[in-house]
Amino acid sequence: MSHYARNVEYFSMFLAQRTDNKSGRLQGRDNVKAYLAKGLEAYPGLNFRLIDVLVGVSSDSA
């Protein structure tokens, strides 16, 4: 979580669908951490792998 600012704003359609937070918005690193921890507990076999890197129009690197 160290790569998130303390006052991060996190938006997710899943947040609105799966919790009482219908705005789909969380604010603050601690709140985001708690939300993501619950998701990881619910899906213990979840894993991530890099499939591709897409560079935007204003990006300086590839």
State pLDDT tens for residues 12-44: 998 888 888 899 999 999 999 999 999 899 999
Beta bridge partners of 27: 9
pLDDT at 56: 81
pLDDT at 7: 96
Summarize the confidence of residues 45-53 as an average pLDDT: 92
Whole-structure pTM over 0.75, yes or no? no
pLDDT at 53: 87
pLDDT at 27: 95
For β-strands 25-27 and 9-11, DSSP reports them as antiparallel
DSSP annotation of 2 reads T
